[in-house]
Structure 1
């Protein structure tokens, strides 16, 4: 039987590495793994559909589902997850002592539709009393000027989003007091050295553990998509790929637990891993539709509430899963 050649663009994550180095091989598929920075992968796939399979921002993918002919289907595979309380930054001279002080303030975002920012706005609205429309948003590059929204937005009039100038950055505006806060996945230039820059949640590890304990959510950032035209010609690849991605998690878990010779340059990795397992449980990075139903549906609700997507979707409408007879594992 001839094996199917597929290209796959993704960041060089530890949970993908076994697919790249050949320790895990998808059944019936020769997978050409192309390691790329996430920004490049997202741009090339969303704009040009260059790859058969790719990592994709969960927010961008949900936006494509509102198109008349959605170009992608998503596997229940989530290579990037992150708590985002830690990456809400404030100007320490703006008189902000807690989340509620952000109401009526000026908040910078790299892009309104960014997955991290959807989570941050949703969490602030649902858990901290900061409604999405109570803040004025300003979008642009965090450390480099010129960033623009990758996708055209059609937001409700009550949500205020203004692009910053072509030569401005969110980092400089935050330090200068032209912004009161920044929601982002990265870190503003000068953070850690400029006393004007701080975190909204200085005790973020405990805040994020408490959030997970209350909600059961470890936020999904990215999923894995397949070009719909490829999937429709070869529907069996969904099962094969998902099985392979799941198998590739095991060596990543094993490497974290390796104590004799540390594979990660963290001297107290064993203690950190034990704390993570105690807080999140042993399957904290599990793939699968049912395992992630609550996370997916919460994010979809946030996206709709924030004016990005037409309606909240059920998990079965977002990713392939057990409801697909040809996809049972």
Structure 2
């Protein structure tokens, strides 16, 4: 019997590399792995459904659930996780010395529905008492003019939001003081270039993120793996096949990262940092599935997503995923 040919678009990650190298092959599937930048994958999948399987922004996926029928089914494979306190920036003269100072300010964001931005608006609301509607929002291209929301959203009157002028970028407006702050997944160019006009709102990023995890037990989930619904409905078995393969690819990544005969990655203190991560977050610190920690993490995100006007209703984590990927045979 021929294997099912599927194309998967995903980033270049150690935790998925075995799928790209074909050292791990999903049961019954011939997988063509396209290593693409996340913005390109998200745009092409959300707008044109180009791939049978793809990495997708968690927020974009939850937005897509408003469609009837929803175009994708997710697997509890978290291709990207990241603490995002580093994502808040401010103009040095804007009077933003702490998150509490964001109240009444003008804040830029490349897209309102970006997962990292949903997370950090929620965190600032929960932990610093400044909800997302306490400041104004400006959307647009960070480094290149003309960016639009890849997932169409209708916020109604729930938020003060408007696009930046045509031909302008968020990075230049932040440096020049035309916006007070910026929340974004990517480092803005002025900050990367050492421009003194731009600073981080959380200067001790690592300290803030460790404190956040210690208090909440949340390691934010950014991206999930999705299967196009028409493929899933024809072949529901692909959910379990892909999930098992993703787990094995991650196991290989864990194992190779702890090979101390030679550093696998260009990071001088890789081994002690790995050991510290295990001590703080547990041995399976990049866990997949819907265990208690991931359930708590996803519940927090879904609450933020709904509170910020991006979800039509408050969903539960169980609603997000193919049931076949949440269950396994007991031998």
What TM-score do you get using the length of structure 1 for normalisation? 0.96
Give the SS at the match of 1:146.
coil
Matches within 5 A, 1:255-266: 255-266=256-267
Structure 2 residue aligned with 1:179: 179
Shift of 1:322: 6.4
Structure 2 residue aligned with 1:196: 197
Structure 1 residue aligned with 2:269: 268
Partner Cα distance (1:108, 1:210) in 2: 26
Give the SS at the match of 1:31.
strand
Partner Cα distance (2:53, 2:212) in 1: 32
More off after superposition, 284-293 vs 212-221:
284-293
- Establish whether residue 304 from structure 1 lines up as the match of residue 306 from structure 2: yes
Structure 2 residue aligned with 1:6: 6
Partner Cα distance (1:158, 1:45) in 2: 28
Structure 2 residue aligned with 1:239: 240
Retained in 1: the 8 A contact 2:240–2:325? no
Matches within 5 A, 1:142-291: 142-192=142-192, 193-291=194-292
Partner Cα distance (1:286, 1:320) in 2: 17
Structure 2 residue aligned with 1:132: 132
Shift of 1:96: 1.5
Give the SS at the match of 1:191.
helix
Structure 1 residues 65, 158: closer, same or farther in 2, change over 3 A?
closer
Retained in 1: the 8 A contact 2:75–2:325? no
State the Cα deviation string for residues 182-210 of structure 1 (Å, max 9, x = none): 00001111215111111110111011011
Partner Cα distance (2:158, 2:65) in 1: 24
Shift of 1:62: 0.3
Alignment size in residue pairs? 328
Shift of 1:255: 2.2
**Over aligned residue pairs, what C-alpha RMSD do you find?**
1.4
Matches within 5 A, 1:76-95: 76-95=76-95
Shift of 1:315: 1.1
Partner Cα distance (1:16, 1:323) in 2: 17
Partner Cα distance (2:35, 2:162) in 1: 34
Shift of 1:2: 2.1
State the Cα deviation string for residues 44-75 of structure 1 (Å, max 9, x = none): 11111111100001001001111111011000
